[in-house]
Structure 1
């Protein structure tokens, strides 16, 4: 086959174009840090990347859910702690009131303090976080306790469930019935009976209130212990999610991110090849007819 000057020129241009294309590819990888710019560059890498990104996105969503669950637990634990302290104080007043060393005026003063403590416990029972009442089951848009201490739905046993891992849901609230109800007596009715007993200096009722208040205190402490156990489990789940996120991001990086040392080496090599191609082309493609006659 006869090789013409035009064929040499076209072949050289094709080779130069190919070299420039590879040079552009390495420069793009160096600038972006990614192996591919579009799915057509490497469909296999692109498809795997979509799967890895979906996995990372799913883990991040579970971490957000876990953060919300942790917020519920932290606020519930703090509220139950304050409620326990208030009930301890009411219990101390009941013990003091049961002794014969306090007169009627002393009991009236105790009654005033117990009334204030009752208001304080009502405020705690109506704790809301982000506009959601944490002690009213799934009816988070309604306060569980009215100002007079009556309940909207004391026997509400609904759990607020949050999915914190694939197939794993945690109840993040304290069940109202298990916090405010003991031996079929609600907490505020018990406090009201104690207030009435102090007002009337009813020694027998004051003595009875000691045991009732202690029972309610134990109920709140048990509810807090249950919240603490779920908090510990959530910490383990968050730790596992953190590990899964690290692994998923590493796999995504290994699939998509370039090896800078390798890319820089390939870039330098390609630059050398391009220079060599230009030098060879300048010798092969003669600019004038006189060059053939020399």
Structure 2
């Protein structure tokens, strides 16, 4: 086969262009920090990279859900803690009202404080996180107690005892609310009966006999009922505490997953700088050698060709 000057020139230019493209590829990898910069560079790596990014996006959403769970659970725990403290104060007032050392004016003041405590407990039952009522089940737009002081019922609203669940991991949901309608209904009923008794004008002995404060035979039903309410509040707080512990465990799991997925994604597509720089230097050396040899093979002018 006859090799012409044109063939030599064409082959040299094609090889030089290939060399330029190779150096450009290495340069792009060094500049971007990625071994691929478009799916066509390596479809398999690109598909894996998209999968890792989906996992990271989902992880980010789960961590945002964890923040929402913390907000709900912390607010619930705080409200129940205040309710428990208030019930302790109610017990002190019950014992105080049953004493004949108090005048009718003193019992009137106790009655007024009981009324305010009752209203405060209703306010705690209507605790909100943002614009959501946390003790109303899935009816987060409606308060547990109405404006007239009566509690919502199933006939008023559905979903009062339903759970609000958020996704905390792939295929894992967690309830972040606490059912409060039964608890606060029992407390409000007790407070209403106590308020009626204190406003009836009864004497300290009559109040003590009615409440069972003066009993010595273990029939102290009012005080026992109040203790039962306090225990119910503590049980709800224990439930909230268990959920808070689980949220922390899930947060640790999500953080570990984020680290692992990020590591896999980096291994899949990040540039190995030492290797790429070496290959870049090698390609540059080959390119310079090609230019030097080509300059000697290819005649640059007609005079050089004639000579």
TM-score band by shorter chain is over 0.9
Contact 1:197–1:203, Cα closer than 8 Å, also in 2: no
Query: Per the alignment, in what secondary structure is the counterpart of residue 164 of structure 1?
Result: strand
Partner of 2:89: 89
1:110-125 pair list within 5 angstroms: 110-125=110-125
Contact 2:136–2:181, Cα closer than 8 Å, also in 1: no
Partner of 1:195: 195
Q: Does 1:271 align with 2:284?
A: yes
Partner of 2:174: 170
CA deviation after TM superposition for structure 1 residue 246, in Å = 0.9
- Mean CA deviation greater in 27-36 or 62-71: 62-71
CA deviation after TM superposition for structure 1 residue 189, in Å = 1.7
**Please, what TM-score do these two structures have when normalized by structure 2?**
0.88
Contact 2:125–2:180, Cα closer than 8 Å, also in 1: no
Q: Does 1:204 align with 2:217?
A: no
Query: Per the alignment, in what secondary structure is the counterpart of residue 166 of structure 2?
Result: strand
1:128-207 pair list within 5 angstroms: 128-153=128-153, 156-181=160-185, 186-199=186-199, 200-201=201-202, 202-206=207-211, 207=213
User: Please, what is the CA RMSD of the aligned residues?
Assistant: 1.8
Q: Which stretches of structure 1, 4 residues or more, deviate above 3 A after TM superposition?
A: 205-209
Q: 1:248 aligns with which of 237, 242, 261?
A: 261
Supply the distance in 2 between the matched residues of 1:78 and 1:269 (Cα, whole angstroms): 66
Supply the distance in 1 between the matched residues of 2:59 and 2:251 (Cα, whole angstroms): 10
Q: Does 1:25 align with 2:30?
A: no
CA deviation after TM superposition for structure 1 residue 178, in Å = 4.7
CA deviation after TM superposition for structure 1 residue 142, in Å = 0.5
Unaligned runs of 5+ in 2: 214-220
How many residue pairs are counted as aligned between the two chains?
290
**Please, what TM-score do these two structures have when normalized by structure 1?**
0.92
Unaligned runs of 5+ in 1: none
Supply the distance in 1 between the matched residues of 2:2 and 2:210 (Cα, whole angstroms): 121
Supply the distance in 2 between the matched residues of 1:214 and 1:103 (Cα, whole angstroms): 27
